[in-house]
Amino acid sequence: MPSCTRATDSLTTRLLMGTEVEAGQGTMTVIASCTATGAHIFVTTKVWGTYHDRVTAVLDISLANLELDYVDLLLIH
């Protein structure tokens, strides 16, 4: 089972990298493990510049892919 090795670990992904679905599949297991140890996963995702007019829609897709209710940091490139 994956676990956190520090007080805070991070997960960084973006929709265009095509890694959000895979990351989301394991995110809940890791978060549960981290929460049990008092650690925190800091989640960052990115919105590519061509989607500036659809930031909310892209964020909603990212949240669904990651199986999360929120991210800690949203970067807009």
- Count of C-beta atoms within a 10 Å radius of residue 71: 19
Task: At 41, list the tokens.
Answer: 């996963």
One-letter amino acid identity for 26?
G
Ranges of each domain in the chain: 8-76
pTM metric for this prediction:
0.68
41-68: burial string, b at 16+ Cβ within 10 Å, e else: bebebbbeeebeeeeeebbebbbebbeb
Give the pLDDT confidence of 25-65 residue by residue, as tens digits. Answer: 666 677 776 665 555 677 888 888 888 899 999 899 888 88
